[in-house]
């Protein structure tokens, strides 16, 4: 079984390829050629949590397993198997695999739902996932400006400087969250907040929002009125997963006494109803995205080994 390191993942998987593979995953889910199982968790009194999720198609199947603890952070492993015979083919160090494919999911949604002329990105959050969100947005839209806000001024200024240099973009830190997202054509929320990090009044008509920072029903980044009262097109990577993980949707349901998730599956072909409609992609992350990106990396590494 091939052992694939973080360094190999970073050297092999570009954001452009990751977006292509994530888009393939959405098509396979839509046409029934892929199977995806939602994330499950084992929660211990120590604060440690084991998370696991699985998926597969006709070529490969696999599972992502990761641990989290408030003191030590998150530690990811991905196991890849061949569908034809069930044999294990690769084990991945998967911190960066998950980071890149999470950005790619937002990139796929933005590519399809954001207005073609969207050229300003407002991002709230500067943690582990935020940098690949910018990478993905820059891949699918020609950005003229990126505005960044997070709670700690030193972190947001350092993050802005780092991303400006890495992506050769105009990236600046703002003094408030409102300043970051107001009049932005694309908005990303990448936080672990329990309460909304923006207000509906700050969001301009025609904005596309990627809410990807939380996958717990007790946490949310978006307010109820934005979800339910703005006539927004609200999509999720999986309605099945959203019922288990999307506080951004479950909390508004509870507040209004709704019985169905106020969103539809993001799939190829979905479009905004007008240039002024707000669109929202609530991302929790799907194992099929890990399977497809891991399988592609495995095949590239195998070809490279055989060619030597």
Radius of gyration of the chain (CA): 19
pLDDT of residue 306: 63
Q: Which fold has domain 105-282?
A: Rossmann fold (3.40.50)
What would the mean pLDDT of 41-52 be, rounded to a whole number?
97
pLDDT of residue 307: 62
What would the mean pLDDT of 2-17 be, rounded to a whole number?
98
pLDDT of residue 146: 98
pLDDT of 308 over the 60 cut: no
What is the rounded distance in angstroms from the CA atom of residue 245 to the CA atom of residue 283?
10
Rounded mean pLDDT of the chain? 96
pLDDT band, residue 166 (cuts 50/70/90) = very high
pLDDT band, residue 214 (cuts 50/70/90) = confident
pLDDT of residue 252: 97
Q: Where are the domains of the chain?
A: 2-98+288-306, 105-282
pLDDT of residue 101: 97
Query: What region, left, alpha or beta, does residue 86 occupy, with left being phi > 0 and alpha being psi -120 to 50 degrees?
Result: left
Each residue's pLDDT tens digit, 178-191: 999 999 999 999 99
pLDDT band, residue 137 (cuts 50/70/90) = very high
Please provide residue 40's backbone torsions phi and psi, each rounded to the nearest 5 degrees: -125, 160
| Superfamily name with CATH number, domain 2-98+288-306 | ornithine cyclodeaminase, domain 1 (3.30.1780.10)
The candidate with the shortest Cα–Cα distance to 291, out of 85, 111, 112, 57, is 57
Q: What is the pTM of this model?
A: 0.95
What would the mean pLDDT of 131-136 be, rounded to a whole number?
97
pLDDT of residue 128: 87
pLDDT of residue 122: 98
């Amino acid at each position: 079984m091939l052992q694939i390191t973080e360094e190999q993942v970073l050297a092999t998987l570009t954001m452009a390829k990751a977006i292509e593979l994530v888009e393939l995953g959405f098509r396979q889910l839509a046409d029934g050629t892929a199977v995806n199982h939602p994330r499950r968790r084992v929660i211990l009194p120590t604060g440690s949590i084991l998370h696991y999720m699985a998926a597969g198609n006709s070529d490969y199947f696999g599972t992502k397993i990761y641990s989290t603890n408030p003191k030590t952070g998150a530690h990811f492993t991905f196991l890849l198997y061949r569908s034809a015979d069930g044999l294990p083919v690769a084990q991945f160090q998967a911190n960066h695999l998950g980071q890149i494919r999470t950005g790619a999911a937002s990139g796929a949604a933005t590519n399809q739902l954001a207005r073609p002329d969207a050229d300003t990105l407002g991002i709230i959050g500067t943690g582990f996932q935020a940098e690949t969100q910018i990478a993905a947005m820059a891949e699918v839209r020609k950005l003229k400006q990126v505005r960044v806000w997070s709670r700690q001024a030193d972190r947001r200024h350092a993050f802005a400087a780092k991303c400006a240099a890495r992506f050769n973009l105009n990236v600046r830190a703002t003094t408030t969250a409102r300043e970051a997202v107001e009049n932005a054509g694309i908005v990303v929320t990448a936080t672990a907040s329990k309460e909304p990090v923006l207000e509906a009044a700050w969001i301009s008509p025609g904005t596309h929002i990627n809410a990807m920072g939380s996958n717990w029903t007790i946490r949310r980044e978006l307010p109820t009125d934005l979800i339910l009262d703005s006539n927004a097109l609200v999509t999720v990577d999986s309605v099945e997963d959203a019922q288990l993980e999307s506080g951004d949707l479950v909390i508004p349901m509870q507040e209004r006494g709704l019985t169905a998730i106020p969103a539809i599956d993001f799939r190829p072909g979905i479009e905004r109803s007008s240039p002024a409609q707000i669109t929202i992609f609530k991302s929790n992350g799907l194992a099929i995205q890990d399977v497809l990106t891991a399988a592609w990396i495995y095949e590239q590494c195998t070809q490279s080994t055989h060619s030597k």
